[in-house]
Amino acid sequence: MIALDDIRKSFKGRIGLSEPLARYTTFRIGGPADIYLEPLDKADALSLIRYLRHEKIPFFLMGNGSNLLISDEGITGAVVNLETGFNYLKIDGDGVITAGAGVKLAKFVDFCISNGKGGAETLAGIPGTLGGAVIMNAGAYGGEISDHMLSVELIRGERLVKIAKEEGGFAYRTSSLQGDVVLEASFEFPAGMPESMKATRRQTMLKRNTSQPVQWPNAGSIFKNPPGDYAARLIQECGLKGRMVGDAEISGLHANFIINRGGATARDVIDLIRIVRDEVKSRFGIELELEIKLVGFDRNPVE
């Protein structure tokens, strides 16, 4: 039971009840959250997380809602969104850039370029916030967000701590921060030429916009690439481009994307995921691993 009066004693941010979550996801899919919370600063976030953990109230940390499939039934417990209170960027006298967890990656890339810092350009176009990108070690075209990272400030258990990059367990599309609440991260990028960086960003965005179904709601790549291969190639070889379940469709432009053609449900997407995994396993003997996160399901729905 969530006692709203207890939360309101020290919480300064916005509170929503039975908040529909589809509007907060890039897939435009998902049922309601029991309670939706937007902390305004570190003190607000720390007191909230301490309360939720002390009361054993389950909570889910949401950023831009990309790389995510929320169940049609929604999420039991609390959803915490850091976009409002942690949407800041700053650079110090030594050139170290610090970004709040709620900053969109596109804004982060632009800030780095405008300050003559190179190395973030390949992240252009990834539809997420910095906090989620750090936890998932997001990347594209050979670069990862952890490449130039110095440290991460986060809530671990009921304490606010700062850890060095080396303590984060960063690997391909994962880290050891899955149970933590990332609030901000600091980076040290080498100097770069603004025009060259802008050109790389343009090329990255052009490549994304011409090779991915950006005109339809989607959650990004559905599956991780298996070692030495590409999930999209395997799915395409199985002849699955264009396969539909309800209003969910395997994109004809990029086979590792499932698009929402308007009224897709989480169940439609899950059924398509099962079809893909079964076909790829049958034909190639490869078990594709999900890159998107499944949230709000009682059990793993694709097993």
CA 243, CA 152: separation in Å to the nearest integer? 41
Tokens of 21: 């979550």
Catalytic residue status for 201:
no
CA 242, CA 22: separation in Å to the nearest integer? 23
Which residue shows structure tokens 């398509």? 272
With CA atoms as reference, report the closest residue to 102 among 147, 64, 134.
64
Tokens of 280: 């790829």
Other CB atoms within 10 A of residue 173 CB: 16
CA distances from 200 to 99, 123, 130, 239 (A): 22, 10, 20, 33
- Quick one: DSSP state of residue 190? P
Q: Which of 14, 50, 156, 173 is catalytic?
A: 173
Please name the helix (run of DSSP H) or strand (run of DSSP E) that holds residue 135, with its range, or none. helix 130-136
For residues 122 and 102, the answer to whether their CB atoms sit within 8 Å is no
Hey, what amino acid is at 157? G
Catalytic residue status for 146:
no
Q: Which of 66, 146, 221, 251 is catalytic?
A: 221
For residues 87 and 106, the answer to whether their CB atoms sit within 8 Å is no
Catalytic residue status for 173:
yes
* Helix, strand, coil % over all residues of the chain, rounded to 5: 30, 25, 45
CA 271, CA 248: separation in Å to the nearest integer? 9
Which residue(s) pair with 29 in the sheet?
A: none
For residues 216 and 251, the answer to whether their CB atoms sit within 8 Å is yes
For residues 222 and 232, the answer to whether their CB atoms sit within 8 Å is no
Catalytically annotated residues:
173, 221, 291
